[in-house]
């Protein structure tokens, strides 16, 4: 531990912002690694460290692992294999005993909060509870995006400056005492000076601020995010974490003065322990190691089965003739089963997976939209804008959300009358749910009858510094990239479908997390449609030929959107199809319809309210009903149970039933011998799929501190986030209802390529390499020649021999749906 | 026709008891019982109302059951039915049935699924007892059930800190309403010399005669009724509890705190209307209170940046207007307004999570950047002032605690020396008290008149001491038990209150005391180091024990589950109208014993669990 604790405001604020949650406001919710702050350290160390600092529960606890072991969800041979490989053969027996029998004190203690607890123990004042209510209220009022009828009266200029303006000119005050208010006006007072008053001894300053800010990580994190990304707010606000800390320190002085008068001294005078460096806890304990062994054994119990399935798959089906149609889907784990059903119904078609923005890196502005919204992966900074041109843009209204119900007199008339309408609406919604203005409906993202400005005819066509549409050359690049990275460079079918995806729900504050992650939490309809337009463009096709992709003229691309909640699809620009293709398309519609029914049936096994034994059609109707039911907190289960990411040809996984647990990215190593496209795929897959997976992991293992808890009591705060009740901190992470069926396993990426190529590829980008090297994501390859499986460990690929060799065979996965709602093992599909 | 009234109490009661017996795991059966019971109630309501309408809206009154009789004192259950009951019954039945159906799916897999439906049905039972009550005693039974079930619903997420704190906050304000109700009961005993039924209040001549004769007492009674109505309906200056009650699952907040529960104050006013309708001052006061509330709540509501508190304040503001309507005697309008407001706010709260999608979409398509207006300086100052004042909720929350509870806490701390040993040391005085009760001839009349108040004061001090105890729960427990004995002794001196009455009163105390003590010992033996200085959350490991302890707390607090409840009412009927201080101390003891006991329960069994081997939430969540 350090001995000198000089306080440097910038350094401390930088540290705080590094460790605070990085969750965007609700409308821009994107999955990310909850413990991103620790990502430069190996997973096994990082999670234990985070636990010691902040008191998070970062894995299952001993009792939970042992219960899984009893239920044989952690297999004995794999536990032994993991322990032997980690601890050596000699110590194995001893460690097995430690894992399975030895008693440990499983309590989680934390280093934060140790300093500020002296306020309570010495002065009997519960400073947090008193200060938080007021602080949160001010922050929420200031940042509010449209709930309050009367908004914060001073626009911008920063939080402190706005407060100064108000406090100078009011009969009332946010402060209770004179001194604190005067300190607000004093420009010479900074955080250092306030800390001297409150804490006294400089060596405690940093520890004090960490204690203080991590007593409400939700609000502090939100402020920090808005500070960096002001564009997340439609209603622009200037705010910095420094201002918030300044304000909180003032409020603390204010409340101490009010409660204790002059009877208080800086905290350092009563603290009986030296300052500690809370961010550097001690080394791993034996219990930590035991838990890490359990976690590995838990993960390998599943990975082994999957790798075994791949190794022992039936490799005889090889398609050579031209398929009936080709369909692209997002790599999203929710699309894994619909692809299976489409292929099951039409044996001659082929499906592909690729990130669902289809390489269209752009902003989108719907008709009448006052803003534009990003529809490509979050880290991408688009230079293009696609605009919707439409004659109709229905914005249905619902008076229940109207602010006029909160006035006094007008509202009096409304509440004398509207209430009876409410009663009716509520009854209808309970007994016969249907779409309403309150529903988030993926098909509303873009109007089916609209047109899009996709092609840029003149480079001077700009708006807000963005180029409207793409030039032919830009379009060619994007089409080429998707086709080459997925390996579809020849043998084109007459129809190639591009399925974006989106979700529908009602009463769902986390709706953005249900849409396509590759489209920054928006439905992928615009992207699918734009890509199809580009791929159908005659000049683009000409250019593509020079790049080695010859698309036959009769081949046409069709943009579409798959609603993953309702299992509905919508196609765009069908009227432009050639008569021959229109006929084929009409035939294919039957395939899709049947596949959607079956897909809905498979999904329904997780839904208590649906009788899975009904026919697929009936189950599908019930599934649709869920998406519009106010009382349904689980319209769909989103990414729950995601564990795998498979990058390779369909033949690598097409014969396996993976229970919707896999992100599937099509990739043909033969098209990409030196791994150029693989790099692109992994650069996206590691942070996107890894981020989703880790957010689910952490929200599952500690739903109270790292997740958002049950969504049932959630209260929407300023349209920014949710809190419990009236005066709680913002809740970050995922609500209980999203993660309860999730098994906390890290993502396993399986690539079909030569190990040395994969190794070189991941080493090219240090940011991507860190995910694998520090074990936040697992990596395995199948050597396409030898069919040998190798696993990445400590910087190299080592051969792996799966223990699982025998697999049950299933013909139609919907049969499984009726048997259980639990996670299913790997099956071989006949 | 009137014999059927009891059915509307029996259905929720049977539903509640049945729901207690179903195993925790059986979700379908639990919610099935709730939906069936509330559906049955709705069905019976509809059938009954048709019948009632055909019979041309008769007012029904039925004396159901006499519980205890002694001299001219009689404790009986009385049911009453008129237009007001009909409206409350119908709105309550529709909403509860809809919400039960809604929650059946919404609560799926929630920890505490059964507890939720138990509490909802318990609440519903209390609601129906209240609206059917034909006298104060029956009303008070329902009233108490509403109070406790509210506490349990707000603290539904009992393993987090804020719900528990807010539940206790709301409970403590409710307790003020309870004192209003108790004193109103006490005074009306003396006003009418028997337990008056609401039906009798419709007798204009009788009421008019009494009012003329006892104007002062009548005003006081009305005032106490108004106090309890204002508390329950979140009127000025109690409004701030309403947004803080929004801690439970959204459907429970929707139905109870934005609709049914919060309109009970209006019900009490409508029910007692014929009593105070001729007291102009009271009517003006009710009107003014309603006006103050609607203004304060509207301003506070308009600056709320969280959706549930916005709905809560809007609801309170409308209830303010309903109060005005009631004061003006516009009963029908008030009833329509109640029904509509209840439905509207329930629905608004239920769809509140959708507000994100809706408002963001609206903003996306309709955004207009606001152009800063240049106001004259004085107007700016007023605007800023109003804004700050409203964001701070007119200081109503801090007001309650600074001026109401903190003085008592300080007073209690002054007596921190008063420990269990001193309490035991007072036993000889207690014995002397009993001795002199039998030998009153030894004491002068003045001393004799002072004794009851003194004994009651000792009892009250013990309770206050228990209320601020931070260390030993057992001490706190016994202090509450002892105080009951002192109060019994105090009232013993009053004529007609003899040992048999005392026995009724204390038998419940003794049983609860023993059960509670045994549970406490059991807990403390297994969890040494548990005190009252923080929250321990032991219900995580001792779920059953926490239930038993809660029951004994309720028993000791005079909740209608033991004879103490009856005894309390009996005891009040023997406090003379001129024994103001005695009544005051007894009532204060009543209030604070409830608070001290629920506080003890909350600290020992609720809040974030001290053991951190499992997930425990942040204190600020």
Which of B165, B380, B618 has the CB atom closest to A169's CB atom?
A: B380
Please name the residues in contact with A829: beta carbons below 8 A apart, sequence gap of 6 or more: A340, A344, A654, A655, A656, A657, A809, A810, A811, A813
Query: A-chain residues within 8 Å CB-CB of B531?
Result: none
Please determine, for residue A313, whether its predicted confidence score (pLDDT) is greater than 90.
Answer: no
Report the C-alpha gap between B159 and A820 in whole angstroms.
32
Whole-angstrom CA distances from A44 to A38, A91, A288, A452, A641 are 11, 20, 9, 48, 21
Residue B399: what pLDDT?
83
pLDDT band, very low/low/confident/very high, at A318 (cuts 50, 70, 90): low
Instruction: Give the residue from chain A lying closest to B112, CA to CA.
Output: A710
Average model confidence (pLDDT) for chain A? Answer: 93
Q: CB B358 to CB A437 under 8 A?
A: yes
Average model confidence (pLDDT) for chain B? Answer: 91
Which of A406, A420, A710 has the CB atom closest to B314's CB atom?
A: A406
Which of A57, A416, A725 has the CB atom closest to B615's CB atom?
A: A57
Query: B-chain residues within 8 Å CB-CB of A108?
Result: 612-613
**Distance, in angstroms, between B167 CA and closest chain A CA?**
11
Q: CB B621 to CB A731 under 8 A?
A: yes
Q: How many CA atoms lie within 13 A of B371 on its CB side?
A: 1
Instruction: Give the residue from chain A lying closest to B93, CA to CA.
Output: A423
**Distance, in angstroms, between B531 CA and closest chain A CA?**
14
Q: How many CA atoms lie within 13 A of B403 on its CB side?
A: 8
pLDDT band, very low/low/confident/very high, at A69 (cuts 50, 70, 90): very high
Cβ pair B103, B31 in contact under 8 A = yes
Cβ pair B99, B248 in contact under 8 A = no
Residue B362: what pLDDT?
86
Three-state secondary structure call for residue B408: helix
**B229-248 residues touching A, CB cutoff 8 A:** 243-244, 246-248
Which of B352, B353, B381 has the CB atom closest to A170's CB atom?
A: B381
H or E element at residue B117: helix B113-132
**DSSP H helices in A24-144:** 43-54, 62-70, 76-100, 117-123, 127-143
Strand partners, A723: A715, A730
Residue B437: what pLDDT?
84
pLDDT tens by residue, A521-580: 999 999 999 999 999 999 999 999 999 999 999 999 999 999 999 999 999 999 999 999
pLDDT tens by residue, A721-775: 999 988 899 999 999 999 999 999 999 999 999 999 999 999 999 999 999 999 9
Q: Torsion-angle region of residue A61: left (phi > 0), alpha (psi -120 to 50) or beta?
A: beta
Q: CB A726 to CB B244 under 8 A?
A: yes
DSSP state, B281?
H
Give all strands (DSSP E) within A564-642, no chain letters. 568-571
Mean pLDDT value across residues B223-245: 95
Q: How many CA atoms lie within 13 A of A524 on its CB side?
A: 36
Residue B357: what pLDDT?
87
Which of B247, B303, B618 has the CB atom closest to A713's CB atom?
A: B247
CA triplet A427, A429, A432: central angle to 5 degrees? 95
Q: Greater confidence, A821 or B323? A: B323
Q: CB B108 to CB A609 under 8 A?
A: yes
**Distance, in angstroms, between A45 CA and closest chain B CA?**
19
Report the C-alpha gap between A578 and A743 in whole angstroms.
47
B354 in A contact zone (CB under 8 Å): yes
B39 in A contact zone (CB under 8 Å): no
Three-state secondary structure call for residue A734: coil
B385 in A contact zone (CB under 8 Å): yes
Please determine, for residue B412, whether its predicted confidence score (pLDDT) is greater than 60.
Answer: yes
pLDDT band, very low/low/confident/very high, at A2 (cuts 50, 70, 90): very low
Closest CA to B597 of B484, B472, B463, B435: B463
Which of B94, B302, B617 has the CB atom closest to A423's CB atom?
A: B94
pLDDT band, very low/low/confident/very high, at A1 (cuts 50, 70, 90): very low
How many CB atoms sit inside 10 A of residue A424's CB?
12
pLDDT tens by residue, B241-264: 999 999 999 999 998 888 899 999
Cβ pair B95, A422 in contact under 8 A = no
Cβ pair A395, B365 in contact under 8 A = yes
Report the C-alpha gap between B457 and B552 in whole angstroms.
24
Q: CB A713 to CB B98 under 8 A?
A: no
Which of A401, A705, A725 has the CB atom closest to B359's CB atom?
A: A401
Q: CB A107 to CB B612 under 8 A?
A: yes
Residue A295: what pLDDT?
98
Three-state secondary structure call for residue A327: strand
DSSP state, B373?
P
Instruction: Give the residue from chain A lying closest to B167, CA to CA.
Output: A725
DSSP state, B133?
B
Cβ pair B272, B326 in contact under 8 A = no
Query: B-chain residues within 8 Å CB-CB of A701?
Result: 615
Strands A827-829 and A656-657 come out as: antiparallel
Q: CB B352 to CB A430 under 8 A?
A: no
Query: A-chain residues within 8 Å CB-CB of B350?
Result: 426, 507, 630
Please determine, for residue A395, whether its predicted confidence score (pLDDT) is greater than 50.
Answer: yes
Residue B569: what pLDDT?
83
Report the C-alpha gap between B85 and B59 in whole angstroms.
10
pLDDT band, very low/low/confident/very high, at A3 (cuts 50, 70, 90): very low
A410 in B contact zone (CB under 8 Å): no
pLDDT band, very low/low/confident/very high, at B604 (cuts 50, 70, 90): very high
Burial classification of residue B608, based on how many CB atoms lie within 10 Å of its CB (0-12 exposed, 13-18 middle, 19 or more buried) = buried
Q: CB A725 to CB B163 under 8 A?
A: yes
B138 in A contact zone (CB under 8 Å): no
Extract the tokens encoding B523. 């807990």
H or E element at residue A273: none
B374 in A contact zone (CB under 8 Å): no
Report the C-alpha gap between A248 and B370 in whole angstroms.
29
Name the residue with tokens 């939906």. Answer: B35
Domain ranges of chain B: 2-358, 415-605
Please determine, for residue B406, whether its predicted confidence score (pLDDT) is greater than 90.
Answer: no
Torsion of CA A770, A771, A773, A775, to 10 degrees: 140
Q: Greater confidence, B413 or A705? A: A705
Interface predicted TM-score of the whole assembly (ipTM), two decimals: 0.94
Exposure string of B158-177, with b = 16+ CB inside 10 Å and e = fewer, is: bbbbbbbbbbbbbbbbbbbb
pLDDT band, very low/low/confident/very high, at B501 (cuts 50, 70, 90): confident
Which of B305, B313, B321 has the CB atom closest to A147's CB atom?
A: B305
Three-state secondary structure call for residue B306: strand
Q: CB B246 to CB A715 under 8 A?
A: yes
Residue A396: what pLDDT?
66
**Distance, in angstroms, between B166 CA and closest chain A CA?**
9
Which of A109, A155, A422 has the CB atom closest to B372's CB atom?
A: A155
Report the C-alpha gap between A20 and A730 in whole angstroms.
12
**B497-536 residues touching A, CB cutoff 8 A:** none
**Distance, in angstroms, between A129 CA and closest chain B CA?**
8
Three-state secondary structure call for residue B431: helix
pLDDT tens by residue, B308-356: 999 999 999 999 999 999 999 999 999 999 999 999 999 999 999 999 8
CA triplet A88, A92, A95: central angle to 5 degrees? 125
Report the C-alpha gap between B468 and B476 in whole angstroms.
9
Q: How many CA atoms lie within 13 A of A421 on its CB side?
A: 9
Query: B-chain residues within 8 Å CB-CB of A712?
Result: 106-107, 110, 249-250
pLDDT tens by residue, A456-497: 988 889 999 999 999 999 999 999 999 999 999 999 999 999
Cβ pair A251, A50 in contact under 8 A = no
Closest CA to A480 of A391, A546, A402: A546
Query: A-chain residues within 8 Å CB-CB of B290?
Result: none
A149 in B contact zone (CB under 8 Å): yes
Closest CA to A348 of A394, A317, A379: A317
Q: Give this prediction's pTM.
A: 0.95
A402 in B contact zone (CB under 8 Å): no
pLDDT tens by residue, B157-204: 999 999 999 999 999 999 999 989 989 988 888 888 878 899 988 888
Q: CB B620 to CB A128 under 8 A?
A: yes
**Distance, in angstroms, between B260 CA and closest chain A CA?**
13
H or E element at residue B68: strand B60-70
Please determine, for residue A236, whether its predicted confidence score (pLDDT) is greater than 60.
Answer: yes
Report the C-alpha gap between B593 and B182 in whole angstroms.
14
Please name the residues in contact with A654: beta carbons below 8 A apart, sequence gap of 6 or more: A317, A343, A829
Instruction: Give the residue from chain A lying closest to B336, CA to CA.
Output: A416
DSSP state, A374?
E
Q: CB A715 to CB B109 under 8 A?
A: no
pLDDT tens by residue, B530-573: 999 899 999 999 999 999 999 999 999 988 888 888 888 888 88
Counting one residue from A and one from B, how many pairs have CB atoms under 8 Å apart? 334
Q: CB A150 to CB B392 under 8 A?
A: no
Report the C-alpha gap between B508 and B527 in whole angstroms.
28
B106 in A contact zone (CB under 8 Å): yes
B431 in A contact zone (CB under 8 Å): no
A744 in B contact zone (CB under 8 Å): no
pLDDT tens by residue, B369-385: 777 778 898 999 999 99
pLDDT tens by residue, B435-455: 888 888 888 888 888 888 999
Query: A-chain residues within 8 Å CB-CB of B366?
Result: 370, 395
Q: CB B364 to CB A371 under 8 A?
A: yes
Q: CB B355 to CB A716 under 8 A?
A: yes
Instruction: Give the residue from chain A lying closest to B157, CA to CA.
Output: A713
DSSP string, A638-698: TTTT--EEEEE-HHHHTTEE-TT-EEEEE--TTT-TT-HHHHHHHHHHHHHHHHHHHHHHH
């Amino acid at each position: 531990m350090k001995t000198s604790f000089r306080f440097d405001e910038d350094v401390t604020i930088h540290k705080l912002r590094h460790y605070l949650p990085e969750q965007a406001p609700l409308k821009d919710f994107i999955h990310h690694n909850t413990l991103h702050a620790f990502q430069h350290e190996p997973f096994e160390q990082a999670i234990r460290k985070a636990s010691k600092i902040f008191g998070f529960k970062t894995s299952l606890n001993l009792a939970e692992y042992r219960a899984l072991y009893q239920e044989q969800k952690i297999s004995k041979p794999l536990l032994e294999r993991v322990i032997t490989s980690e601890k050596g053969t000699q110590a194995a027996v001893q460690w097995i005993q430690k894992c399975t029998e030895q008693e440990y004190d499983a309590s989680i203690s934390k280093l934060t909060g140790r300093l500020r607890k002296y306020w309570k123990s010495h002065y009997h004042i519960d400073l947090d509870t008193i200060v938080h209510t007021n602080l949160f209220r001010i922050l929420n009022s200031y940042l509010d995006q449209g709930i309050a009828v009367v908004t914060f009266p001073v626009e911008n200029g920063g939080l402190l400056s706005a407060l100064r303006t108000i406090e100078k000119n009011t009969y009332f005050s946010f402060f209770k005492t004179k001194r604190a208010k005067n300190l607000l006006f004093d420009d010479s007072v900074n955080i250092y000076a306030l800390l001297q008053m409150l804490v006294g001894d400089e060596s405690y300053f940093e520890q004090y601020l960490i204690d203080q800010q991590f007593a409400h990580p939700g609000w502090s994190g939100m402020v920090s995010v808005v500070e960096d990304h002001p564009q997340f707010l439609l209603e622009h606000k200037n705010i910095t974490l420094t201002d918030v800390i300044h304000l909180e320190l003032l409020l603390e002085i204010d409340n101490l003065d009010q409660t204790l008068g002059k009877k208080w001294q800086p905290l350092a005078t009563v603290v009986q322990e030296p300052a500690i460096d809370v961010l550097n806890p001690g080394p791993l304990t034996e219990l930590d190691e035991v838990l890490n062994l359990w976690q590995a054994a838990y993960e390998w119990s599943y990975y082994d089965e999957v790798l075994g399935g791949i190794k022992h798959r039936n490799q005889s089906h090889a398609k050579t003739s031209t398929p009936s149609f080709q369909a692209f889907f997002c790599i999203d784990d929710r699309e894994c089963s619909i692809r299976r059903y489409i292929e099951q119904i039409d044996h001659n078609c082929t499906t592909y997976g690729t990130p669902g923005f289809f390489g269209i890196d752009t902003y989108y502005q719907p008709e009448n939209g006052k803003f534009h919204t990003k529809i490509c992966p979050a880290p991408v900074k688009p230079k293009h804008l696609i605009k919707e041109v439409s004659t109709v843009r229905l914005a249905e209204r619902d008076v229940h959300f109207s602010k006029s119900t909160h006035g006094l007199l007008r509202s009096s008339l409304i509440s004398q009358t509207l209430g009876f309408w409410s009663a009716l609406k509520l009854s209808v919604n309970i007994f016969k749910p249907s779409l309403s203005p309150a529903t988030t409906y993926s098909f509303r993202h873009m109007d089916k009858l609209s047109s899009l400005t996709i092609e840029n005819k003149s480079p001077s066509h700009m708006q807000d510094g963005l180029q409207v549409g793409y030039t032919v050359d830009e379009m060619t690049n994007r089409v080429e990239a998707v086709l080459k990275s997925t390996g579809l460079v020849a043998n084109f079918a007459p129809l190639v479908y591009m399925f974006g995806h989106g979700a529908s729900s009602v009463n769902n504050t986390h709706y953005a997390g249900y849409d396509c992650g590759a489209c920054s939490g928006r439905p992928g309809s615009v992207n699918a449609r734009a890509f199809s337009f580009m791929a159908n463009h005659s000049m683009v096709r000409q250019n593509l030929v020079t790049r080695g992709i010859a698309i036959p003229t009769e081949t046409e691309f069709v943009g579409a959107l798959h609603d993953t909640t309702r299992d509905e699809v919508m196609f765009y620009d069908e009227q432009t199809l050639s008569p021959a293709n229109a006929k084929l398309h009409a035939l294919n519609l039957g395939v899709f319809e049947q596949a959607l029914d079956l897909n809905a049936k498979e999904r329904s096994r997780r839904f208590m309210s649906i009788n899975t034994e009904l026919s697929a059609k009936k189950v599908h109707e019930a599934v649709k009903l869920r998406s519009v039911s106010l009382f349904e907190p689980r319209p769909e289960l989103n990414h729950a149970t995601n564990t795998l990411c498979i990058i390779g040809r369909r033949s690598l996984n097409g014969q396996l039933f993976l229970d919707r647990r896999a992100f599937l990215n099509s990739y043909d190593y033969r098209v990409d011998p030196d791994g150029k496209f693989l790099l692109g795929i992994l650069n996206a897959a590691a942070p996107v799929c890894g981020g989703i997976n880790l957010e689910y992991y952490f929200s599952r293992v500690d739903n109270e501190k790292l997740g958002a808890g049950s969504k049932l009591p959630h209260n929407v705060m300023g349209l920014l986030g949710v809190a419990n009740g009236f005066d709680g901190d913002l809740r970050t992470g995922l609500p209980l209802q999203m993660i309860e069926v999730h098994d906390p396993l890290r993502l396993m990426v399986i690539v079909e390529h030569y190990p040395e190529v994969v190794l070189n590829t991941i080493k090219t980008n240090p940011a991507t390499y860190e995910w694998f090297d520090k074990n936040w994501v697992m990596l395995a390859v199948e050597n396409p020649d030898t069919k040998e499986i190798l696993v990445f460990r400590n910087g190299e690929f080592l051969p792996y021999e799966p223990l699982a060799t025998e697999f049950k065979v299933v013909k139609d996965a919907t049969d499984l749906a009726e048997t259980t709602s639990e996670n299913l093992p790997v099956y071989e599909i006949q | 026709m009137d014999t059927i009234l009891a059915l509307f109490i029996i259905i929720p009661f049977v539903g509640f008891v049945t729901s207690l017996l179903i195993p925790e795991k059986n979700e379908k059966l639990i919610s099935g019982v709730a939906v069936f019971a509330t559906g049955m109630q709705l069905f019976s309501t509809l059938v009954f109302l048709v019948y009632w309408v055909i019979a041309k809206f008769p007012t029904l009154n039925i004396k159901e059951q006499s519980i205890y009789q002694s001299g001219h004192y009689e404790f009986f259950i009385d049911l009453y039915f008129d237009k007001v009951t009909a409206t409350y019954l119908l709105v309550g039945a529709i909403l509860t049935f809809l919400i039960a159906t809604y929650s059946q799916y919404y609560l799926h897999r929630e920890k505490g699924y059964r507890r939720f439906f138990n509490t909802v049905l318990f609440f519903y039972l209390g609601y129906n007892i209240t609206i059917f009550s034909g006298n104060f005693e029956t009303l008070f039974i329902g009233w108490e059930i509403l109070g406790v079930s509210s506490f349990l619903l707000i603290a539904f997420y009992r393993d987090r800190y804020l719900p528990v704190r807010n539940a206790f906050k709301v409970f403590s304000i409710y307790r003020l309403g309870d004192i209003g109700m108790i004193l109103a009961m006490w005074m009306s005993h003396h006003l009418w010399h028997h337990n008056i039924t609401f039906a009798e209040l419709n007798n204009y001549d009788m009421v008019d005669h009494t009012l003329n004769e006892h104007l002062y007492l009548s005003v006081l009674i009305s005032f106490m009724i108004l106090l309890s109505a204002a508390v329950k309906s979140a009127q000025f200056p109690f409004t701030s509890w309403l947004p803080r009650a929004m801690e439970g699952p959204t459907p429970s907040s929707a139905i109870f705190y934005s609709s049914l529960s919060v309109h009970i104050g209006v019900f009490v006013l409508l029910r007692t209307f014929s009593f105070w309708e001729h007291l102009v001052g009271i009517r003006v006061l009710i009107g003014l209170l309603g006006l103050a509330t609607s203004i304060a709540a509207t301003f506070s509501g308009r600056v709320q940046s969280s959706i549930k508190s916005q709905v809560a304040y809007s609801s309170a503001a409308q209830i303010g207007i309903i109060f005005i309507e009631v004061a003006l005697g516009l009963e029908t309008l008030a009833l329509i307004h109640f029904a509509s407001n209840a439905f509207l706010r329930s629905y608004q709260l239920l769809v509140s999570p959708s507000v994100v999608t809706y408002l963001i979409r609206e903003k996306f398509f309709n955004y207009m950047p606001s152009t800063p207006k240049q106001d004259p300086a004085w107007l700016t100052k007023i605007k800023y002032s109003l804004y700050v004042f409203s964001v701070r909720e007119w200081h109503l929350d801090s007001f309650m605690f600074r001026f109401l509870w903190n003085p008592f806490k300080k007073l209690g701390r002054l007596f921190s020396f008063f420990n269990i040993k001193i309490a035991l040391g007072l036993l000889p005085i207690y014995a002397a008290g009993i001795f002199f009760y039998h030998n009153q001839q030894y004491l002068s009349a003045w001393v004799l008149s002072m004794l009851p108040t003194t004994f009651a004061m000792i009892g009250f001090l013990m309770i206050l001491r228990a209320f601020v105890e931070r260390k030993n729960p057992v001490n706190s427990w016994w202090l509450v038990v002892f105080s009951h004995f002192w109060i019994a002794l105090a009232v013993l001196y009053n004529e007609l209150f003899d040992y048999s009455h005392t026995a009724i009163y204390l038998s419940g105390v003794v049983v609860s005391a023993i059960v509670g003590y045994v549970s406490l010992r059991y807990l403390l033996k297994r969890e040494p180091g548990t005190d009252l200085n923080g929250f321990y959350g032991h219900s995580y490991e001792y779920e059953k024990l926490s239930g038993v302890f809660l029951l004994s707390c309720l028993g000791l607090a005079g909740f209608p589950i033991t004879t103490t409840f009856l005894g309390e009412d009996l005891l009040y009927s023997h406090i003379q109208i001129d024994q103001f201080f005695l009544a005051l101390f007894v009532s204060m003891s009543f209030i604070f014993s409830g608070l001290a006991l629920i506080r003890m329960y909350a600290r020992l069994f609720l809040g974030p669990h001290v053991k951190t081997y499992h997930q425990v939430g942040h204190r600020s969540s």
